[in-house]
Structure 1
């Protein structure tokens, strides 16, 4: 039971982290480059970042 709760917590943290990264990419594309991303593009970016987010966090964790 505890393993499932820890897994769900980790998944939730990764969902939020990927969502914030996708929002950051969206705002940078819109305000700095003048390109408005569609909902479909933001969704695929979010899914991609959901997969890559744990790797990004591991990279920063290993540098400390």
Structure 2
């Protein structure tokens, strides 16, 4: 089963089958920011958003 879109969320997906977890080596969850062209812009083995927010601040100068 492929990851599916989370209800009420524009661009969030749930990996219920674990296929992306296995592919990216996530043990206890993680975050992946994948651009529309398929490039992995950010990958974290933590579910904390701190690293992602730091990355986005650098990219978008927030």
TM-score by length of 2: 0.28
Higher strand share: 2
Higher helix share: 1
TM-score by length of 1: 0.27
Larger radius of gyration: 1
Give the structure, 1 or 2, with the largest relative contact order (CA under 8 Å, sep 6 or more): 1
